[in-house]
Structure 1
């Protein structure tokens, strides 16, 4: 029943979207909406895992905002309006002219959106690459999946500018060696993506550290928020219903985390929006199909948070970040070379699948070790760092 409540809106919007497409455009459009929804879900499963790592730091009220207002932003903002804005900027047209083009000459609109792809790939690629680098170079990350790779990088991360340096070097290499005639466009968009990442992430962390704004978000008094945040309570998290009760971000801190989630969603959605024109050139059909898929990704994100799945399967977060790093590389390659969507989707699924298998193996080893040691020592084991399960 709990899962039905979380996914209920997704089921309802799916039925409404497919039915509306069938009534307005016929069975063919209804089928295309369903196909695009499945495509979006398959391409963005790793996005759900990444979202869950951030969303679990937010109060339940903000989680509901992510599932309601966030969906409207995802459907109408990222899948409909944002591509029009990108085309307007790169083609030097007004948004009204671009919207008219999308309605009356979808083929030319798709062509101009394709022309904007180098800028889109550079912006989204550097944003996603920074997420990946910040994860790899995090000096406080104790859980390691591929220890031989991750431990040296974790130690190097004590120099906190390393992710930025690596990202800038990668951007220069891509801009000079792999972007063909789009060097200036790629470098400009890449710097804009890096600046956006640093600004949104930095402001979110600043307000989260300050514990500002727990009075405005309407969170329940018993939601492990409020006073604990304002007082800077650092007590160990307690568990309730399998979900860790963390000191959760509220107010302006949660607002910037929400904005951060939306930019991540935009970075993930770019390739899906461009690729969708290979299936349909109707912008409303594309927005409906990708929007339904985005709704399921949001429901899945909330489900992962409420079930505490990331705590139970400890390498899922690692797999999702490796998938994000791979997607950033694919976006860089796609500036000059077309990469089929199926490859993008399979790479993400492969990393998530391997991480899930490693997590299950780790849980079995822990359970076996616990059974072997049962009753041998009355002293509690205070070592909580899990043993690595390398590939």
Structure 2
């Protein structure tokens, strides 16, 4: 089961790490490994959401998502999108950006470093909004309750996450951006650039969130229609004595579900691509690392669907979002200060590991309390 589900991911990992070692030695090998872990950790909750929706679809649309969808995710978002970011931020056409990345790494490094304040502000705001919308939402399951409970109460204020993000952007523009570091160690005032880029990142998040909400609403409408049609079929079957037919979502319902999944996946892909710039500016290593991680996310989605166990580790989603929040802060700080790539990459790993450990402890505690309650009930029954 494990090999069947993750076989392609293992193969891509071996090829990707070998290509990284050939391309840049053990340093490149380590960067690609960290990027792969970063992608998996940031997108784990995406895999959980994908699995919850994907299991409602019929076999045809599941196959479409796991074939066409993975091509879009790996080649579109992880390979082409980083080129677009560099091209736009450095005011180059995509072909020149690719040519520089492969043939003139010093010049490419200079352009990316000089454009880093804009990239960091854009990505930092996008990631920060994901984190804020998560922590300001009142959830049944709370990991760090002493933080999440008061934040959930504050989250009842409309548009609070946007207000907080704009305040953070304003502070960043007037502090970090006032002496942003440039190629060669010089410092320049990038306050205007950071403000414009941060607002663009915020707008992008709102657009992506709006599209996701639109597709989700359409999906719910289609599901209601499918449910009504199924109930009519069951009534007809009961009246005529014909066997009932099991209906999986197909047609327009599955199509809108597919669109919703792609928009959702793109939003999560975006944060990992932006986060990757905090670890490396090498587009080849970025594509290798994020591509490997994307394959594992897809395999994990299939595994969760086939196993049907989506709620075993309830704090992992929290850990992933805290990692996103930490990465947003680190990106904004890097506008002025350089942060070691290893530290940046390990922040997400530590938070995900902590949330996994907390989930395991919670499961053991629930199992122990359940066993104690069963023993108590057995003793009461025996006395009775």
TM-score norm. by structure 1 comes to 0.76
Match of 1:251 among 248, 251, 255: 255
Match of 1:56 among 38, 51, 55: 51
Q: What is the rounded CA distance, in whole Å, between the counterparts of 2:62 and 2:345 in structure 1?
A: 26
Match in the other structure for 1:287 = 287
Q: What is the rounded CA distance, in whole Å, between the counterparts of 2:145 and 2:13 in structure 1?
A: 42
Q: What is the rounded CA distance, in whole Å, between the counterparts of 2:293 and 2:25 in structure 1?
A: 14
Q: What is the rounded CA distance, in whole Å, between the counterparts of 2:356 and 2:258 in structure 1?
A: 29
What's the CA shift for 1:355?
1.5
Q: Which shows bigger deviation, 326-335 or 77-86?
A: 77-86
What's the CA shift for 1:360?
1.7
Match in the other structure for 1:319 = 319
Match of 1:202 among 188, 202, 210: 210
What's the CA shift for 1:253?
4.7
Q: Does 2:265 align with 1:266? A: no
User: Do the aligned residues in 1 keep the contact of 2:42 with 2:348 (CA within 8 Å)?
Assistant: no
How big is each residue's C-alpha offset from its partner over 1:116-135, in whole Å with a ceiling of 9 and x where there is no partner? 22222122211111111111
Q: Where do residues 30-41 of structure 1 align in structure 2 (5 Å cutoff)?
A: 34-41=29-36
Q: What is the rounded CA distance, in whole Å, between the counterparts of 2:115 and 2:66 in structure 1?
A: 30
Q: Which shows bigger deviation, 260-269 or 125-134?
A: 260-269
Q: What is the rounded CA distance, in whole Å, between the counterparts of 1:94 and 1:36 in structure 2?
A: 27
User: Do the aligned residues in 2 keep the contact of 1:204 with 1:254 (CA within 8 Å)?
Assistant: no
What's the CA shift for 1:150?
1.2
Q: Does 2:163 align with 1:165? A: yes
Q: 1:100 to 1:261 in 2, by over 3 A?
A: same
User: Do the aligned residues in 1 keep the contact of 2:100 with 2:108 (CA within 8 Å)?
Assistant: yes
Match in the other structure for 2:80 = 81
Match in the other structure for 2:10 = 11
Q: 1:65 to 1:132 in 2, by over 3 A?
A: farther
Match in the other structure for 1:68 = 67
The alignment partner of 2:190 has SS state of helix
Paired residues, what number? 346
What's the CA shift for 1:192?
1.6
What's the CA shift for 1:7?
1.2
Match in the other structure for 2:98 = 99
User: Do the aligned residues in 1 keep the contact of 2:89 with 2:119 (CA within 8 Å)?
Assistant: no
Q: Does 2:364 align with 1:364? A: yes
What's the CA shift for 1:331?
0.9
Q: 1:305 to 1:150 in 2, by over 3 A?
A: farther
Q: 1:158 to 1:257 in 2, by over 3 A?
A: farther
Higher helix share: 2
What's the CA shift for 1:68?
3.4
What's the CA shift for 1:326?
0.7
Q: What is the rounded CA distance, in whole Å, between the counterparts of 2:63 and 2:29 in structure 1?
A: 25
What's the CA shift for 1:33?
6.5
Q: What is the rounded CA distance, in whole Å, between the counterparts of 2:359 and 2:86 in structure 1?
A: 43
Match in the other structure for 2:108 = 109
User: Do the aligned residues in 1 keep the contact of 2:35 with 2:276 (CA within 8 Å)?
Assistant: yes
Q: What is the rounded CA distance, in whole Å, between the counterparts of 2:228 and 2:41 in structure 1?
A: 29
TM-score norm. by structure 2 comes to 0.77
The alignment partner of 1:320 has SS state of helix
Could you list the runs of 5+ residues in structure 2 that have no partner in the other structure? 179-188, 232-247, 379-384
Match in the other structure for 1:340 = 340
Could you list the runs of 5+ residues in structure 1 that have no partner in the other structure? 215-223, 233-245, 379-391
Q: What is the rounded CA distance, in whole Å, between the counterparts of 1:229 and 1:133 in structure 2?
A: 37
User: Do the aligned residues in 1 keep the contact of 2:43 with 2:269 (CA within 8 Å)?
Assistant: no
